[in-house]
Amino acid sequence: MQTKPFRIGTRGSPLALAQAHEARDRLMAAHGLPEEMFEIVVLSTKGDRITDRSLAEIGGKGLFTEELEQQLASGDLDIAVHSAKDMPTRLPEGLCLSAYLPREDIRDAVIGRTAPKLIDLPHGATVGSSSLRRQALIRRMRPDIKVITFRGLVDTRLRKLQEGQVDATLLALAGLKRLGKVDVITDILAAETFPPAPAQGAICIESRIGDARIDALLAPINDTATFDTVSCERAFLAALDGSCRTPIGGYAICEGDQVRFSGLIITPDGRNQHAVSIDGHRRDAAALGTRAGQEIRARAGSSFFDDWS
C-alpha cells in the first residue's frame, strides 16, 4: 500500500491553487483518503514571472507548464493540475492529459465599468484583453473599440479596470467562479456568438504515460463528457497548428452519445472569418475535431494564416 503522499504540482496563482485543491478534494473523496496522502507542490513558471508582455510575444503556452512537466517526467511530481486552455496541443514525450474534472461554464464574462455590455460601451471605448481571440471577436462586434494588452492575475486586471485604465475587460467565467468573484460580472457572452477558447473552463490532470498506479488513482475522478469535448476542441486546435498568433474559438457539446462541435478562425481585425460545424459519435470526438480543423484550413487557404502574422 502507498504510504508516501501523492505529489500534486501546480502553479502558484490563486486560480491555479483553487484548481489544485479541487483536484485534491475529488481524489480524497473518490478514494476515501485523508488529506495527508496528498501534498500540493507549488512551482513558479516563466509565464508567471513575465507579466508585462503578451503570451504570443514571449513564446506561448509552454511557458506555464515547462517547470511542472520537467518534475513530472523526473518523478518529482505524480500529477500536475492545469487549466486545459493553457496547455500546448503537443506535450513533452512520455506525458499525457489523463483526466479532466467536470467542466465549469465555458463562456467569457464581461466586467464593464462604463457600461455593463460590450454592445453599450461608449464609442471608441477601451477594452483590456491580451487574448487574440477576444480581441478579434470584440473588433468583429465593435470595430470602434480600442483593445489594449492586459495580462496578469485576475485581481491585477480588476484593479486596472477600477483605476479607469479601461472601460471593460473580459475574463473566463470559469475562473471568476472558481475564485468566488462572480459579483464583478456585468454580462456573459453567448458561446454561439462569442466562441470560447478551446478547452476553456476545463481543469486537466497531466501525468506520465503508462504509470498504472497513477492511472488507477485518476480513473474515478475523470469526467468523460469533459474528456470528450476537450479532446475534440484540442484536436481542432492542433489541426490548425494552434499557433499563439491565430485567433481561434470553438466548443463541443455532448448530447447522449453524440458530440457537436462549432469552430471559428478569425483575422485579428475581426473582418474575415471561417466557421465550421460538425457532429458525430462521442467515441470519435478527437477525430471530429481534427476533421473540422482540416476543413476550415482547406477553406481558408494558407493566405488566411500568412496575411497578418
Please give the residue ranges that form the binding site for ligand PBG (CB under 6 A): 83, 85-86, 171-172, 174-175, 200-202
Asked if 253 and 196 count as a contact pair (C-beta separation under 8 A), the reply is: no
Closer to ligand PBG by Cβ: residue 158 or 300 = 158
Report how far residue 212's alpha carbon sits from residue 96's, in angstroms, rounded to the nearest whole number. Answer: 13
Q: Which residues are catalytic?
A: 86
The least CB distance from residue 198 to ligand PBG, in Å, is: 10
Closer to ligand PBG by Cβ: residue 8 or 171 = 171
Closer to ligand PBG by Cβ: residue 171 or 240 = 171
Q: Which H or E run contains 229?
A: helix 224-239
Q: What cell does 39 get?
A: 501534498
The least CB distance from residue 4 to ligand PBG, in Å, is: 30
The least CB distance from residue 104 to ligand PBG, in Å, is: 6
Closer to ligand PBG by Cβ: residue 133 or 291 = 133
In terms of Cβ atoms closer than 10 Å to its own Cβ (0-12, 13-18, 19+), residue 238 is: middle
Q: Positive or negative, the Cα torsion across 126, 247, 197, 208?
A: negative
The least CB distance from residue 196 to ligand PBG, in Å, is: 8
Q: Which residues contact 99 (CB under 8 A, 6 or more apart)?
A: 204, 205, 207, 218, 219, 221, 222, 227
For 22, which DSSP code? H
Closer to ligand PBG by Cβ: residue 131 or 267 = 131
Question: Cα 201 to chain center, whole Å?
Answer: 6
The least CB distance from residue 155 to ligand PBG, in Å, is: 12
Of 242, 236, 229, residue with least CA distance to 275: 236
With CB atoms as reference, the residue minimizing the distance to ligand PBG is 175
Asked if 307 and 267 count as a contact pair (C-beta separation under 8 A), the reply is: yes
